[in-house]
Amino acid sequence: MLRERFYTLTASCPDQVGIVARVSGFLAAHKGWILETSLHAQPPDEHDETGRYYMRVEIRADSLPFALPELCERFRSVAEDLDMEWKIADSALRKRVVILVSQQEHCLYDLLARWQAQELDIDIPCVISNHETFRGFVEWHGIPFHCVPVTSDGKDAAYAEVRRIFEEARGDTMVLARYMQILSPALCAAYPGQIINIHHSFLPSFVGARPYHQAWAKGVKLIGATCHYVTANLDQGPIIEQDVIRIDHTDTVADMVRYGKDIEKTVLARGLRYHIEGRVLLHGNKTIVFR
Q: Where are the domains of the chain?
A: 6-90, 95-289
Q: Is the pLDDT of residue 37 over 70?
A: yes
Say how far apart CA 122 and CA 91 lie, in whole Å.
Answer: 11
Predicted pLDDT at 2: 63
Distance CA 124, CA 213 (A): 33
Look up the CATH number of domain 6-90: 3.30.70.260
- In angstroms, the CA 130 to CA 138 distance is 14
Under the banding of pLDDT at 50, 70 and 90, the label for residue 46 is confident
Confidence band for 286, pLDDT divided at 50, 70 and 90 = very high
Average pLDDT rounded to a whole number, residues 85-111? 97
Is the pTM higher than 0.85? The answer reads: yes
Catalytic residue among 15, 123, 235, 251: 235
pLDDT at 256 over 60: yes
Class of domain 95-289: alpha beta
> Which of 45-59 are b and which e, b meaning 16 or more Cβ less than 10 Å from the residue's Cβ?
eeebeeebbbbbbbb
- From residue 242, alpha-carbon distances to 76, 223, 235, 246, 281 in Å are 35, 11, 13, 14, 16
pLDDT tens-digit readout, 128-143: 999 999 999 999 999 9
235 is catalytic: yes
